Amino acid sequence: MAKRVLARKDKLTKYKEKAIEIFFFINGIMAVLILIGIFSLLVTEGLPAFEEVSIVEFFTSNQWNPTSGRQARYGIVGLIVSTLSVTVGSLLFAVPIGIAAAAYLAEVAGPKEREILKPIIEILASIPSVVLGFIGIVFVGPWIARIFGLTQGLNVINGSILLGIMALPTIVSISEDAIMAVPEEYKHASLALGTNRWHTLIHITLPAALSGITAAVMLGMGRAIGETMAVLMATGNAPRMPKNIFSSIRTMTATIAIELGEVPFNTTHYHTLFAIGSVLFVMTFMVNLVSDIVLHKYGEGEE
């Protein structure tokens, strides 16, 4: 009797495990199908633009002026450069701070400090981007203008600082995990040779965690590239090629957000905005793909 009960329990457990496996498999397939569907929509709506717009002009011209009638220009080089400029600027701001914060949390901070600091860093990820954009307009922008003697502070630097703040939680969290995953034997061997904790951190721990930190930076970069509201509000919305870090710019995401709601349906302008979306999708997909490859390589290396 007892054997029959155990057999039934084992059989029921197997059914449950199989059902859970099928459930997660279906969810994984749905995620892939949704991703393919989004990309298909962007490409389908974007391709008609090239019936009237030269693909060479689209990818080589820096003039974006779709509302000037016969003189309309649909070049996105300036938009791409603007997007990359604030993204790179945000990484220059966020990476040193993020890695330093991750190293402090993983190697220096005590349990009580970590309990206080970790939630504060994670709260940064929950701040709405429109709130950060508002802060950029009323606080960061005037501060930049006052320091550098500018007429206004809605420029590349402003957008870079805001995007850097938004990328910090991702960089800090993943970098901390990477640093804490470094085997303790590495640190003990370094200290046994007579070095101090600072030398061990800089020359042993961080290099050993480099692939995980790289993945964190790439994910932070993907977060920055896809941001809309903060850069829409804080960079000046000037669709032109940036001359320097004090130039007002407009990113690809801001262009789509501003113009798509007012553009007539099925016009050339309408389809070029979807073409921009396709380019942006490919850029963010490649960044996240590279970060995922690096992160998996890091995980396998630790195993």
| CA-angle at 223, arms to 218 and 227, nearest 5° | 145
Is 9 part of any domain? no
Would you say residue 60 lies in a domain?
yes
Burial of 182 (0-12, 13-18, 19+ CB in 10 A): buried
Tell which residue, 243, 76, 75, 227, has the closest CA to residue 155. 243
71 within some domain = yes
Residue 156 lies in a domain: yes
Residues 6+ apart with CB under 8 A from 47: 271, 275
Phi, psi at residue 236, to the nearest 5°? 100, -20
Residue 212 lies in a domain: yes
Which pLDDT value is given to residue 227?
Answer: 86
| pLDDT given for residue 82 in this prediction | 93
Q: How far is CA 56 from CA 39, 148, 150, 256, in A?
A: 22, 38, 36, 21
Place of tokens 């990818």: 59
- Asked whether residue 93 is assigned to any structural domain, the reply reads yes
Task: Report the CATH number that the domain containing residue 278 is assigned in CATH.
Answer: 1.10.3720.10
The pLDDT of residue 238 is 86
In a domain, 37, yes or no: no
Beta strands in 166-292 (DSSP E): none
Domain that holds residue 156: 55-302
Encode the chain (303 residues) as per-residue pLDDT tens digits: 666 666 677 777 788 888 888 999 999 899 999 989 999 999 999 999 998 888 998 999 888 888 776 778 899 999 999 999 999 999 999 999 999 999 998 888 888 888 888 888 888 888 888 999 999 999 999 999 999 988 888 999 999 999 999 999 999 998 998 898 888 888 888 888 888 888 888 888 888 888 888 888 988 888 888 888 889 899 988 888 888 889 999 999 999 999 988 888 888 999 999 999 999 999 888 888 887 777 676 555 444
| 65 DSSP β-pair partners | 73
pLDDT at 161 (0 to 100): 93
Contacts (Cβ under 8 Å, ≥6 apart) of 200: 187, 190, 191
**Total of domains in the chain:** 1
Question: Quick one: pLDDT at residue 16?
Answer: 83
Task: Say if residues 153 and 144 touch (Cβ distance below 8 Å).
Answer: yes
| Residue 259 resides in a domain | yes
